Amino acid sequence: MNDRKLKLADLAKLAGVSTSTVSRALNDNPLIKQETRDKLQQLAKKHNFSLNTAASRLRTQKTNVVAVIINLDGDTEQSINDPFLLKIVGEINLALNKFGLELLLSNSFMASDDWANYFINSRRADGIIVVGQGKSQANIEAAANAGVPLVVWGDPKTPSSYPIVGSDNYLGGRIATEHLLSNGAKNILFLGDPGHAEISERHRGYLDAINEAKATPHVVSIDITSSAAYKGINQLLVEKGLCFDGIMACSDMVAFGAMKALKERYISIPNDVALVGFDDIAMADISHPSLSSIKQNTQRASVILVEKLLAQLAGQSVESQVVEIELVNRQSSQR
């Protein structure tokens, strides 16, 4: 047998396994045991065999690429530079790589309205992971209705025809607000945009906790950026003075914008105003004061997102799933 012309089937016959097992092993697919991968890779090297990835993709009609779309609203200044978005995209990339898949990053501004044609029918990707539901789910719903394999990072309690993976946002909003109340805060602001699907649930949790405590809700509706939070708090202080002693921020970046505005006016955190964010990004632990926050398990969620997408690609039906959260108690809320 001429080793230089050795085919995949020949290598499989030599090893006594199926061609699909050899292909997966040479692609370092974690579905194949490490011992088997090592054995087949050594055998391929011995016979000067290399897997023709391009030809393999043509035969299987698969790209081994997943499009990850950052779903941004047209009226927001939030961008891919947001540390939380960078964090979750990075963890999705790691999860995809473990399954031998590549990431194609895009956003809802760059992608066309017809995601099915733009990503799938044009063979840019095999499936789609959407990060964020935003205010409108029209493009997501259109892609799902077109039969596109997709999974969404968002609020998993949202009724939908497609699977959503994410935190219990209602519970997170409620826990954060109850924490502020238990630490003595009486006039607590909700800072964020309740128009977003995920933030709407955080707002609902805030309202229920406030109502049960027989307190008065105060909502400052802003874009979900630190600069919008900074402007919003400054405007409120100018118009009404220090009329609040607690802030439940819809995200850590929003919390940092509020924190900057308060510090510039020499308002003590947490003595004058206690503050809790949402996301627990790395900056929360190193800020001064350190920021209490609702931690989202994005690492676990990223693995679930990829697993559910792969299940769809295998023809299986999948459902939405809630990922656990926890309150990380730091200096910004301790009195």
Q: What is this structure's pTM?
A: 0.78
Average pLDDT, the chain: 88
Cα 137 to Cα 146: distance, rounded to the nearest angstrom = 14
pLDDT tens, residue by residue, 42-86: 888 888 776 555 445 444 567 889 999 988 765 666 556 789 999
Query: So what CATH class is 3-60?
Result: mainly alpha
CATH superfamily of 169-296+328-333: Response regulator (3.40.50.2300)
Look at residue 1 and tell me whether its pLDDT is greater than 50. no
Each residue of 90-103: b (16+ CB within 10 Å) or e? ebbbebbeebebeb
Peptide bond into 156 cis (omega under 30): no
Stretch among 2-11, 170-179, 190-199 having the lowest mean pLDDT: 2-11
Look at residue 99 and tell me whether its pLDDT is greater than 70. yes
Look at residue 115 and tell me whether its pLDDT is greater than 70. yes
- Please give the share of the chain, as a percent, with pLDDT higher than 90: 61
Supply the pLDDT for residue 190: 98
Supply the pLDDT for residue 183: 96
Domain ranges of the chain: 3-60, 65-166+297-323, 169-296+328-333
**Is 65-166+297-323 the same fold as 3-60?**
no
Supply the pLDDT for residue 58: 43
Supply the pLDDT for residue 264: 97
Look at residue 20 and tell me whether its pLDDT is greater than 90. no
Phi-psi region of 250 (alpha: psi -120 to 50; beta: other; left: phi over 0): alpha
Please state which of the four CATH numbers 3.40.50.2300, 3.90.1490.10, 2.40.50.100, 3.90.25.10 is assigned to the domain occupying 65-166+297-323.
3.40.50.2300
Enumerate the H helices of the chain as residue ranges: 8-15, 19-26, 34-46, 53-60, 83-98, 115, 138-145, 169-182, 197-212, 226-240, 252-264, 283-286, 298-313
Which residues touch 101 (CB under 8 Å, ≥6 apart)? 64, 65, 66, 306
DSSP for 145-209, written as a single string = HTT--EEEES-TTS--SS-EEEE-HHHHHHHHHHHHHHTT--SEEEEE-TTSHHHHHHHHHHHHH
